[in-house]
Amino acid sequence: MSRVRGVLFLDTTGKNIILGAQMGKESFYYVGTETEKKHASTLLQKIDSFLISSNIRIDNISQIGVVIGPGSFTGIRIGISTANALSKSLNAAILSINSLELATFGHNKNVISIIDCLNGNYYSLIKTSENDCRYRILSENELKHYEGYDILPAKEVSPENKLRAFVEKADKGFFSKRALPFYLRESSADREERDKDHYLILNPSTQDIDRISDIEKASFRDPWSEKMLSDEIELNNPTNVIIKDIRDDTIIGYSFSRSTYDVLELLRIAVKSAYKGAGFASLMINRIVAESRNLNIKSIILEVSCINESAIRLYQKNGFIVEGRRKNYYRKDEDALLMRKLI
C-alpha cells in the first residue's frame, strides 16, 4: 500500500509559531499566541497537538516544509533544526522557502516583498519577472525608486497562502537534503568570524563623491550637497575615511570630521543600507580613533538625535558617553544628545 501524502509546514521566524498541514484535499492551520522566547520549549508540543487536533497521523507526513528566514536568528534555527530532525526521523522530504519568496507566491512580475529590519530599511525581494529575482536591503528612499511595483509585506502572508506555496513547490519536486538558514544580514556570531581582509579603509577622493552622495541622500533627512562633500574631501583631513570592498570597488560607508585644537568633532558617519548592522561603522570609528591619536587629539565629540536609538547604541558600544543635551535641536520634541569619547 502506498504511503498517504501529507505535507506539514512550520514557521518560527516571527513572534508566533505558525503551522499548516494538508492531507489529501483537506487543509489545517494553527497560529500560536506564544512569544518567540518560548519556541524552543513549545514547538514539538504544538506540532503534536496540532496533528492530533487535525486527525493526522505523524507517520502519514511525507513532506516537511520550513520557513528559513529572514527573521529572528533564534527562531530560524529552532524551526530549521526541528524540520531537519522530523525529516530524518520520518524519512520525509524537506522543502525550504524564505519569507520574501512566500510573499511573492502567485505574482509573476513587478513586485517587491519586504520585511522591516528597522531604522527605515527593509529586507527585500525584487521580482521583475519570473526569472529575474534579486535580494537586497533597501532604504525607504530606495523603495520609492521602484515606481509601478507592488509592495508586498511578507508578514501579511496568510497561513493558507504559505501552505499553497509549499504544496506547489512539492508538486514541482523542489526538495533539498536538509534545510539551511536564509540570512540577508549576518548574525553577531557570523560577523565575529567574518574575514575582513577584502575591506579597505582609506581617505576619500573626489572620484568617490557620486557614490558617497548616494549613501548621504539615503541616510540623512538633510543631506549634504555634492559641493559640501567635495569641500570636505579637498581638506585632505586624515580622519575623513571611507570603507571599500576591494573585490568590486563598492563604497560601503564614509565618515567626515574636523578638529579644533585637541578635540575632533564627528560630523558625518553613514553606511550603505545593504551593509548596515555588520560592524562597518565600528571599523571606521576605530580608524578615526587611531588617526586622532597620531594628531594628539584628546577627545572625540558628536551630536546625535535622542530618537536615533541604533546610532546611540553604536556610539555607546564604541566608548562614547552622553555629557549634555540640546532641547528641540532637530525639531520640536527631538533633542540632540552631546556625546564624547576620551582617547
Same domain, 148 and 265: no
**Can you tell me the distance from the alpha carbon of 154 to that of 33, in angstroms, rounded to the nearest whole number?**
19
Same domain, 154 and 221: no
141 falls within a domain:
yes
Q: What pLDDT sits at residue 4?
A: 57
For residue 160, what are the domain limits?
6-185
CA distances from 202 to 229, 259, 295 (A): 16, 18, 17
Same domain, 30 and 14: yes
The CB density around residue 88, as the number of other CB atoms within 10 Å, is: 12
Domain boundary among 165, 185, 205: 185
Write the CATH number for 49: 3.30.420.40
Write the CATH number for 328: 3.40.630.30
**Can you tell me the distance from the alpha carbon of 125 to that of 224, in angstroms, rounded to the nearest whole number?**
30
The one-character DSSP state at 178 is S
Residue 284: phi, psi to the nearest 5?
-65, -40
Q: How many domains does the chain have?
A: 2
CA distances from 183 to 111, 137, 188, 233, 260 (A): 20, 11, 12, 35, 43
Over its length of 343 residues, how does the chain's per-residue pLDDT go in tens digits?
445 579 999 999 988 899 999 998 899 999 988 665 566 778 999 999 999 999 999 999 999 999 998 888 888 999 999 999 999 999 999 999 999 999 999 898 999 999 998 778 888 989 888 777 888 888 888 888 898 999 999 999 999 999 999 999 888 888 888 888 887 765 444 444 444 567 899 999 999 999 999 999 988 889 999 999 999 999 999 999 999 988 778 899 999 999 998 999 999 999 988 788 778 999 999 999 999 999 999 999 999 998 888 888 889 988 999 988 888 888 888 888 999 999 8
Query: Count of alpha carbons within 13 Å of 310, Cβ hemisphere only?
Result: 15
Same domain, 58 and 79: yes
Same domain, 46 and 66: yes
What one-character-per-residue DSSP string does 34-79 give? S-GGGHHHHHHHHHHHHHHHTT--GGGEEEEEEE--SS-HHHHHHH
Same domain, 165 and 253: no
Domain boundary among 168, 185, 202: 185
Q: What pLDDT sits at residue 196?
A: 55
Same domain, 99 and 181: yes
Q: What pLDDT sits at residue 194?
A: 46
Q: What pLDDT sits at residue 38?
A: 66
1 falls within a domain:
no
CB 31 within 8 A of CB 87: no
The one-character DSSP state at 194 is -
Same domain, 172 and 275: no
Same domain, 51 and 139: yes
Same domain, 216 and 330: yes
Same domain, 114 and 200: no
Residue 175 sits at the vertex; the CA angle it makes with 96 and 27, to the nearest 5 degrees, is 70
Domain boundary among 150, 185, 220: 185
* pTM as predicted: 0.56
307 falls within a domain:
yes
Same domain, 131 and 200: no
Residue recorded with cell 550603505: 272
